[in-house]
Homo-oligomer: A and B are copies of this chain.
Amino acid sequence: MERENRVSVGGMESDKDVRVANKRSLRCSDLVLRFVALALTLAAAVVLGVDKQTTLLEVTLVSSLPPVHVPVTAKWHYLSAFVYFVVANAIACSYAAVSLLLTLATRGGKKNVALMIIILDLVMVALLFSGNGATMTAGLLGYQGNKHVQWNKVCDAFGKFCNQVGAAIAMSMLASLAFLLLVLLAALNLHKKHK
């Protein structure tokens, strides 16, 4: 009888240990994902926010004279989609920093703070995915052009500029996946507790 009691008490303790270990690993994944999202959105906003390239284009003014080389500059804020992308990533970056501090400060103890963080993580998913879609469209049009509406591609003249746009999109996509995983983890956690 005594032995049985000891075994069951031992079982309860190991259950508790497993729960504590699960909670710790969940908290650790949350912090890592939040830090990854912070770094990636910061990098995406900076890489597109400093994007600028000047190139010399050949222009023929009079057919009998040799062509003139005119310097033309591409800047990131020439397209509204790029402005939206930089602003969205800057907002997500600031929020990731604040939420990282809040998560560290409350240690997951305050339920209402945790709920607010889930809601804002979800808003960041929406914000970043719309920014990615917008910039992807502008980038693709620059890269391929569209003959139906006679929009010519510009990336053959501004290769470095376009590569930087591509890198920023890739980083922002990874950041938006990190926010999506954060919401998923929170939902899984709540679901497990409820179960």
Contacts and interface: CB of A to CB of B under 8 A. Distances in A.
Nearest to A79: B146
A50 to B, nearest CB: 18
Contact of A180 (B79, B80, B122): B122
* Copies held by the complex: 2
A178 to B, nearest CB: 12
Contact of A193 (B75, B81, B126, B194): B194
A183 B115 contact: no
Nearest to A158: B149
The secondary structure that dominates the A interface is helix
A32 interface: no
Contact of A122 (B75, B81, B125): B125
Interface in A83-133: 84, 111, 114-115, 118-119, 122, 125-127, 129-133
Nearest to A85: B133
Interface stretch (A6-14, A37-45, A61-69, A134-142): A134-142
Nearest to A119: B184
A134 to B, nearest CB: 4
Scoring A84, A127, A137, A146 by chain B CB atoms within 10 A of each residue's CB, the highest score goes to A137
Q: Which 9 A-B pairs have the closest CB atoms?
A: A133-B133, A130-B133, A133-B134, A190-B190, A78-B148, A151-B151, A129-B129, A137-B137, A129-B130
